[in-house]
Structure 1
Amino acid sequence: MARKRYSDEDVLNLLRQIELSLASGSSVATACRSVGVSDATYYNWRKKYGGMGKSQLQELKGLEKENSRLKRIVADLELDKLILKESVDYLKPKV
């Protein structure tokens, strides 16, 4: 079976649909089957996105983007540090 990729907004909409089905009295398995996901996927999504609104999702995306940018900066600085350390070791007078 082909694997589907859902955007974060799609996941929030599917979670809302499942929650509405659960509120109307259906079981988790039938509610998940009605939207086309497994109940394990539902529980994983609920753990990650549970209780999150669209504004919080946008904030989460912004923080993830900033975090990746900062990680790249740290990696570049570490590389510069190693280059400088090697050049200092090379320029030291040998006794």
Structure 2
Amino acid sequence: MKSDRFTDAQIMGVIRQAEGGVSVPDLCREHGISNATFYRWRAKYGGMDASMISQMKALEEENRRLKRMYADLSMQTDILKEALGKK
């Protein structure tokens, strides 16, 4: 998986600058990001504080782990059904 170029604190700083009145094109040029990246960040992180972001990241990680567990169990079930069906 690709590592992030910006930390959560940096992303929050960029969003706060925009809320403070700095124009979006100027912010994007200053930080080397595209307009689409800024608006994606604002949609995802807008209105959050640092604790909410860390909580969201923890929930996303738990969700990934649970999806992986479900996929493993589903695969095992399919293998067992195949083995029992052939007998």
TM-score (norm 2): 0.79
Equivalents in 1 of 2:7, 2:40: separation in Å?
15
Q: Distance in 1 between matches of 2:76 and 2:53?
A: 35
CA contact (8 A) 1:9 1:54 kept: yes
Structure 2 residue 52 is matched with structure 1 residue 56: yes
Does the alignment pair 1:83 with 2:79? yes
CA contact (8 A) 1:18 1:35 kept: no
Structure 2 distance, partners of 1:48, 1:58, is 13
Query: Residue 38 in 1 paired to residue 67 in 2?
Result: no
Residue 73 of structure 1: aligned partner: 69
- Between structure 1 and structure 2, the one with the greater Rg is 1
Q: Structure 1 residue runs of 4+, over 6 Å off?
A: none
Contact kept, 8 Å, 1:11 with 1:45, in 2: the verdict is yes
Quote how far apart the aligned CAs of 1:90 are: 1.8
> Percent identity over the alignment?
45
How many residues are treated as equivalent by the alignment?
Answer: 84
| More contact order relative to length (CA 8 Å, sep ≥ 6) | 2
* Contact 1:18-1:32 within 8 A present in 2 as well: no
1:7 matched to 2:12? no
Runs of 5+ in structure 2 lacking a partner?
none
CA distance in 1, matches of 2:23, 2:54: 31
